[in-house]
Amino acid sequence: MNEQRKDILDMLAAGKITVDEAEQLIAALERDQPPVATLPEARPKGKPKYLRVLVDTLEGGEPGRVNVRVPLQLLRAGVKLVALIPPQALQHANAEMHKSGVPFDLTQLKPEQLEALIEHLDEMTVDVDQPDAKVRVFCE
């Protein structure tokens, strides 16, 4: 509550002005104040805290939805832990992932690359093979 509004309410409480006069004064205060910008574009973006994956699909005529929210601190910690894994174990993990159809090389995962990805991953839509499915990946 601003100081002028408080003064008006104090005068009303003390019986110095009537309720109608208080309403008129408060209305005049509101007219004199500049409008406050509340558009999301007017606010600076904060540091993202979560990686969000949303999947909307119609499978068998039924709508399906996946909504995953992963804390970015967990991803950062995971990337840092990769540095502690012995090279032989990384090679074995990479080989198993390739066998499972996941062509990902853990040895190429670096913390500074993750931060760059987070900075640039404002919002991205991923196309999938099904025409009735939509996948969105973004940071919030």
CA 87 to CA 82: how far, in whole Å? 10
In the three-class reduction of DSSP (H, G, I as helix; E, B as strand; rest coil), residue 128 is classed as coil
pTM higher than the cut 0.85: no
- Interacting residues of 73 by C-beta distance below 8 A, sequence separation 6+: 49
On whether the CB atoms of residues 54 and 135 are closer than 8 A, the answer is: yes
pLDDT at residue 37 tops 50: no
The number of folded domains in the chain is 2
Residues spanned by the domain of 61:
42-139
* 66/125: higher pLDDT: 66
Partners of residue 59 on adjacent β-strands: 62
Q: What is the pLDDT of residues 20-33, one digit of tens each?
A: 888 888 877 776 66
22 and 48 belong to one structural domain:
no
In the three-class reduction of DSSP (H, G, I as helix; E, B as strand; rest coil), residue 14 is classed as coil
80 and 54 belong to one structural domain:
yes
Q: What is the pLDDT of residues 56-114, one digit of tens each?
A: 887 766 677 888 888 888 878 887 887 788 888 888 888 988 888 888 787 787 777 77
Residue 34 has what pLDDT? 54
